[in-house]
Structure 1
Amino acid sequence: MSLIHSPTMMLTLTSLVLSTLMALSSTNWILLWGAMELNLLSFIPIMLQSKNNQETEGSVKYFLAQALGSALLLMSSTSLWMSFSSLPNIMPLMLTTAILLKLGSVPCHFWYPSVMASISWTSCLILSTWQKLAPLSILAFLLPQKNMSFIMAMAGINALVGGVMGMNLSQVRTIMAYSSIGHIGWMLSLLAVFKPNASIMYFAVYSALITPLFMSLWYFNIFSTKQMNKIPSNSVLLHLTTVILLLSLGGLPPLTGFMPKLMTIMMLTESMKITVFMLVMGSVMNLFFYLSIVINMMFSTPNLKLLNPVKSKVTGTLTLVTASLSLGLSPLIMM
């Protein structure tokens, strides 16, 4: 996680944080659009930190997808307030689609796994957590309520797409991308029943789970499931915490990752039975490929080296402390 080696990168990170805060506190659509554009331009230098061809390709794909989303956002948001608009019923739907495109959600999810597979673990972590905060908050607090049936349909499809497409993959970053798409479905389902605070809490728990997991994968320089044997070869304790994080992210009870899903099921059971079924099916498929990774870790032969042996104590300690939240938060969330 070496992002602070130069004043330029520090300036870029500061701009990334401030642009998201500007988007969260914007009072009109034009200001919101400007803040998200600044956020886009701030994140691209972070994606290009190693300057290899793969990251350049991922950055271009990310820029094109986000630029299209920004164009749709600007056009649809301004058209909402024009009385002479010829398509008044389509504009709110287009606005929702623009936010879903920026979020990496179905039906505009095709860029997300491709970009995740092309960039470093540091950029993957930022893209999966901080970059989703502004679009998710827009969906939670600003969008018209008439689109909630569309959002509910997209929630169920997100869960199924994330589960089906994540199977039989060998690249861990692509697996994490489809897992993120599946979790977006659970967040959108809470928004569709007018529970924005619950959706934000789900996002916070998800971010707390993937942060130590991505740190471990970055530390051991892991990019495919066959390389997961790097972790048990160096630290049994770190191996166990990584296993707990993977199972918690898959929603295995009674770990922390299961509690937000249980909360969502309890809120949706009475009125949205079909959506609950789709969400549970997607979650079971997610748990299946997480279990595959765990079994591969347990029965593989360690034979590979660390990426940065000098930083072993700091990174290992931070990962262990954060990973302990995966089990320790379960009683708190239940209360």
Structure 2
Amino acid sequence: MYMNLAPFTMLCYSVLVSSSIMALSSSNWLIFWLSMEINLLSFIPIILTGSGNQETEAAIKYFLAQALGSSAILVFSTSLWNLESFSFSKLFSLILMVSILLKLGSAPCHFWYPSVMSSISWVSCFVLTTWQKLAPLCAISFFLMQKFSSSFLIFVGSLNAIIGGIMGLNQSKMRSIMAYSSIGHIGWMLSLSSIYMPISSVVYFVVYSMLILPLFFILGLLNIYGLNNLNKTISMAPLLIFVVSILFLSLGGLPPLTGFAPKMMTIFLLVNVNSMFILFLILGSVLNLCFYLNIIMNLMLSSNFNLAQNISLNNMKWVNSFFVFSIVSLLFILLLH
């Protein structure tokens, strides 16, 4: 897995973490906007440090989408201070919510997200799917939910789950599949935020991040970007097939694996609020599980046990050592719930 450890890149990572913490600690929208701008400018050089040729296009798409969201946050958050009319306040709050959904990569403002994910390295993908979502998610959970009814955000969460499940069935690139999978999981997090359970949403986010960390590590270390490459590469090691299969099934929420615990928690919390939207969340999760099972079945039926040419023995030593860490982490989290 390619990761640039140059001093400038490490400085960008430090600014990235600091700006997100500053956004989480902000007490007004102006400081939040300033923090998100610093976060945006620090993540673009990280995208450009990848070893591929599509990072420049991805960086431009990411910048345009985030700049649009940031400008909307600045304009409409400051307008809320000056307008006392209730109707305008509701309208501007709605636009402010949509702008944060755009920065989050949530449906119906998700069109830039799979395109950017499919063009960047696995390290940048991990940062984009985890750390970059923390500040917008907390802004929705702690700041904006006081101005909206729970049905609105549950509807947005259900829309994320359905779109992530349906669109993920039609993908052949691993990064695109993981992008739509992330959109589906955003739906569950937003559903928890809609019932004024921000801590539960953060718990779901932490469990999701712990599941995709070993998966992205393996995919990035072996330079796997497509389903065909995945079958040819992973089929050489039965233990690797087992670990990747468990991680995919856990992401799909199959009981009794780790990913089932936060989804069951969400269902228990939503059942007394709006049981109709729970069906859409479960349907989206089942669709996610379908394309995960498709990947696993292709792995199981693959018969190529030859070492891929693009994998060095040094990388294989790292993979073998990471097997133990992945299994121990999965079992430990499984025992917790």
TM bucket, shorter chain: over 0.9
Letter in 2 for 1:127: L
Q: 2:161·2:184 contact (CA, 8 Å) conserved in 1?
A: yes
In structure 2, how many angstroms separate the alpha carbons of the residues matched to 1:158 and 1:290? 17
2:115 aligns with: 114
Is the counterpart of residue 102 in structure 1 residue 106 in structure 2?
no
Number of equivalences: 333
- Matched position secondary structure for 1:106: coil
Partner deviation per Cα, 1:216-244 (whole Å, 9 max, x = no partner): 11111111112222444443222211110
Q: 2:145·2:193 contact (CA, 8 Å) conserved in 1?
A: no
- Matched position secondary structure for 1:89: helix
Partner deviation per Cα, 1:30-54 (whole Å, 9 max, x = no partner): 1111111111111111111136441
1:28 aligns with: 28
In structure 2, how many angstroms separate the alpha carbons of the residues matched to 1:250 and 1:184? 13
1:47 aligns with: 47
2:71 aligns with: 71
Partner deviation per Cα, 1:156-180 (whole Å, 9 max, x = no partner): 1110000011003111110100000
Q: 1:219·1:306 contact (CA, 8 Å) conserved in 2?
A: no
1:95 deviation in Å? 1.0
1:223 aligns with: 225
Greater alpha carbon shift after TM alignment, 187-196 vs 142-151: 142-151
Partner deviation per Cα, 1:47-77 (whole Å, 9 max, x = no partner): 1113644111111100000000001111111
Partner deviation per Cα, 1:93-112 (whole Å, 9 max, x = no partner): 11111111111001100000
In structure 1, how many angstroms separate the alpha carbons of the residues matched to 2:270 and 2:92? 28
Letter in 2 for 1:321: F
Decide which of 276, 280, 284 is 1:274's aligned counterpart: 276
Partner deviation per Cα, 1:173-211 (whole Å, 9 max, x = no partner): 101000000000000000001111110000000000001
1:2 deviation in Å? 4.1
In structure 2, how many angstroms separate the alpha carbons of the residues matched to 1:30 and 1:210? 33
Greater alpha carbon shift after TM alignment, 153-162 vs 77-86: 77-86
- Matched position secondary structure for 1:105: coil
In structure 2, how many angstroms separate the alpha carbons of the residues matched to 1:245 and 1:226? 19
Partner deviation per Cα, 1:245-284 (whole Å, 9 max, x = no partner): 0000011110000111011111111221111000000000
Letter in 2 for 1:91: F
Q: 1:216·1:319 contact (CA, 8 Å) conserved in 2?
A: no
Letter in 2 for 1:63: F
Q: 1:241·1:324 contact (CA, 8 Å) conserved in 2?
A: no
Sequence identity percentage? 51
1:201 aligns with: 203
Q: 2:145·2:196 contact (CA, 8 Å) conserved in 1?
A: no
In structure 2, how many angstroms separate the alpha carbons of the residues matched to 1:323 and 1:123? 24
1:323 deviation in Å? 4.5
In structure 2, how many angstroms separate the alpha carbons of the residues matched to 1:300 and 1:59? 36
Is the counterpart of residue 254 in structure 1 residue 256 in structure 2?
yes
1:166 aligns with: 168
Greater alpha carbon shift after TM alignment, 258-267 vs 294-303: 294-303
Greater alpha carbon shift after TM alignment, 256-265 vs 294-303: 294-303
1:87 deviation in Å? 2.4
Letter in 1 for 2:261: M
- Flag structure 1 segments of 5+ consecutive residues without an equivalent: none
In structure 1, how many angstroms separate the alpha carbons of the residues matched to 2:156 and 2:102? 12
1:12 aligns with: 12
Q: 1:151·1:192 contact (CA, 8 Å) conserved in 2?
A: yes
* Residues 300, 67 of structure 1: alpha-carbon distance in 2 compared, 3 angstrom cutoff: same
Is the counterpart of residue 322 in structure 1 residue 326 in structure 2?
yes
Q: 1:238·1:320 contact (CA, 8 Å) conserved in 2?
A: no
Q: 1:248·1:257 contact (CA, 8 Å) conserved in 2?
A: yes
Q: 1:22·1:32 contact (CA, 8 Å) conserved in 2?
A: yes
In structure 2, how many angstroms separate the alpha carbons of the residues matched to 1:319 and 1:36? 36
- Flag structure 2 segments of 5+ consecutive residues without an equivalent: none
Is the counterpart of residue 146 in structure 1 residue 147 in structure 2?
yes
Letter in 2 for 1:198: S
Backbone CA RMSD of aligned residues: 1.7
| Mapping for residues 289-308 of structure 1, pairs under 5 Å | 289-302=291-304, 303=306, 304-308=308-312
In structure 1, how many angstroms separate the alpha carbons of the residues matched to 2:61 and 2:303? 37
Q: 2:65·2:103 contact (CA, 8 Å) conserved in 1?
A: yes
Is the counterpart of residue 134 in structure 1 residue 135 in structure 2?
yes
Q: 1:230·1:306 contact (CA, 8 Å) conserved in 2?
A: no
In structure 1, how many angstroms separate the alpha carbons of the residues matched to 2:218 and 2:116? 20
* Residues 319, 74 of structure 1: alpha-carbon distance in 2 compared, 3 angstrom cutoff: farther
Q: 1:209·1:249 contact (CA, 8 Å) conserved in 2?
A: yes
In structure 2, how many angstroms separate the alpha carbons of the residues matched to 1:319 and 1:170? 25
- Matched position secondary structure for 1:270: coil
In structure 1, how many angstroms separate the alpha carbons of the residues matched to 2:162 and 2:246? 23
In structure 1, how many angstroms separate the alpha carbons of the residues matched to 2:64 and 2:51? 18
Normalised TM-score (structure 1): 0.95
1:82 aligns with: 82
In structure 2, how many angstroms separate the alpha carbons of the residues matched to 1:259 and 1:50? 35
